[in-house]
Structure 1
Amino acid sequence: MTGDGTSPSLIIVEDDPAFARTLSRSFERRGYAVQHADSPDRLVALLDSHDFEFAVVDLKLGTVSGLPCVEMIHARDPQTRIVVLTGFASIATAVEAIKLGAAHYLAKPANTDDIEEAFGRATGDANVPIDGRKSSIKTVEWEYIHTTLAECDFNISETARRLGMHRRTLARKLEKRQLR
């Protein structure tokens, strides 16, 4: 609850209707007033008529990036606590999300507890352990692709040109899920 006795407001920007519905119901049970946007255009319409204290934004909305949504929400109200969710975690996109105003970045699958905990984290933790796990070749490739993708403002054609690969090859690589 907010200080004035009303429910905290939350916007979920997610293109998967089943996941958005599950997340919405879970947050509603916790007392949040939830709105859902399945695209950047729908988000613009909701931002024009609502103020949000919290936001959950999927990094990949169909064929477009969710990062412009993070930027829009933050520009509208810098106090909104934004958490970015992704099944395509990379250092490049995490850095960009934080630069654009996200408070936290979580890899899927993330549950309501994880997201709510991320909303509450206002500062970093210098005691987070650094794991000694070596990166695989696939992970290094994934990171490099996403760094280049971020540098190209998520333009697939330009990214493919800079990487020296065919656009369809890059699109196939982006559709694959990150190895755990």
Structure 2
Amino acid sequence: MITQDSWLLIDDDAAFLQVLQRALSRQGIEATATHCHSEAFHAMEAQVFRKCVLDLNLAGESGLQLLPELLAKQPALEILVLTGYGSIATAVEAVRRGAVNYLCKPVTVRQLMSGFEALTKVPELREEPPSVEEMEREHIQRVLNEHDGNVSATARALHMHRRTLQRKLQKHSRWRN
């Protein structure tokens, strides 16, 4: 069953999901909140969604990896990617994988709604340059995406021990919050 405004929310931040779901409800939008890919796929088996808000970093899982899987399950789904740290590289990769837009957190419900309307909008980037840690995180994320999420292959490509990369990925997931 598809309703006029049925949204799927995928984010590992429970507080953010609750606030967003409540705000969308006030706008007359039915939203189903999920915290990981398995919950999202379970929800998609029960309902067809029109729009999806997908966090880029899902507690160690990559939203970019999940994006094509969501579209394979529901090809008409419009997916907007959210991230705490915007970069041109991840914005381009998100759109290449099927996202209709890419926005940086924090966002308002109005910005989300207009994000679906402005499908060709260039993401807003911060004025100050990224920190070394942010650049490292973006580089690791790009190489991880190039290797389809394979941590061992990514570690080899970065000339880094696999356990060191895993620690950095865990640290990066904590930076997001």
Paired residue for 1:156?
151
Q: Secondary structure at the match of 1:46?
A: helix
The CA distance in 2 between the partners of 1:69 and 1:41, in whole Å, is: 10
Is 1:84 the counterpart of 2:81 in the alignment? yes
Larger Rg: 1
Paired residue for 2:115?
118
Shift of 1:65: 1.2
- Count of residues in Structure 1 that have an aligned counterpart in Structure 2: 171
Label 1:120 to 1:144 Cα distance change in 2 as closer, same or farther (>3 A): same
The CA distance in 1 between the partners of 2:149 and 2:161, in whole Å, is: 16
Paired residue for 2:161?
166
Label 1:72 to 1:23 Cα distance change in 2 as closer, same or farther (>3 A): same
Paired residue for 2:28?
31
Paired residue for 1:43?
40
Residues 20-78 of structure 1: CA deviation (Å, up to 9, x unaligned): 11110011111101111211111111111211111001111112112233213322333
Shift of 1:92: 3.4
Label 1:26 to 1:88 Cα distance change in 2 as closer, same or farther (>3 A): same
Q: Secondary structure at the match of 1:35?
A: strand
Label 1:58 to 1:137 Cα distance change in 2 as closer, same or farther (>3 A): closer
- Normalising by the residue count of structure 2, what TM-score does the alignment of the two structures yield? 0.80
Paired residue for 2:15?
18
Task: Give 4+ residue runs of structure 1 displaced > 4 Å after superposition.
Answer: 128-140
Shift of 1:94: 2.3
Label 1:129 to 1:109 Cα distance change in 2 as closer, same or farther (>3 A): closer
| Runs of 5+ consecutive residues of structure 1 not aligned to the other structure | 1-5
Moved more, 104-113 or 71-80: 71-80
Report the AA paired with residue 43 of structure 2: L
The CA distance in 2 between the partners of 1:33 and 1:26, in whole Å, is: 10
Taking the TM superposition and a 5 Å limit, the aligned residue runs for 1:93-108 are: 93-108=90-105
- Identity percentage over the alignment? 37
Shift of 1:117: 1.2
Taking the TM superposition and a 5 Å limit, the aligned residue runs for 1:69-80 are: 69-80=66-77
| Runs of 5+ consecutive residues of structure 2 not aligned to the other structure | none
CA RMSD of aligned residues (A): 2.7
Residues 65-109 of structure 1: CA deviation (Å, up to 9, x unaligned): 122332133223333221111124343332222122111111222
